[in-house]
Amino acid sequence: MSEETLEPPLPPIDARTEAVAERLFGLKWALRKDSTEIIHKEWQTAPEWIRDGYLRQAIEVLSAADQADGATASDYKERMRVEYQELTGRADKLRDMLQRYADGTLDFEPTCPITLLSR
């Protein structure tokens, strides 16, 4: 984890993720009216913490988009495979949250009893 932000380090960034992050940056800063060259120059000179934030958003957006692609598949086997991946992903996140709760490092208080979440 980064000492400054307590965020986990970014995974390796591919060109697709970089392009989405740059586009999100351009939309947020009302640079839509600017040419793509100007947006690209601003993106390249943006501080690292700003770029990291947009890269994290792009990773989330692309992950959600990739999951949505599978959820609309016409083949029931593909839909079930995607649903299983989503379910195991949520279970892993819950398991991680419960471990952080047990370690005392969870940064929020769950709204429902922890025993219910542990089942």
In the chain, domain spans: 13-72, 75-119
Whole-prediction pTM value?
Answer: 0.50
pLDDT confidence of residue 80: 84
What per-residue confidence (pLDDT) applies to 42?
85
Compute the average pLDDT of residues 8-28: 83
Burial-class residue 78 by CB neighbours within 10 Å (0-12, 13-18, 19+).
Answer: middle
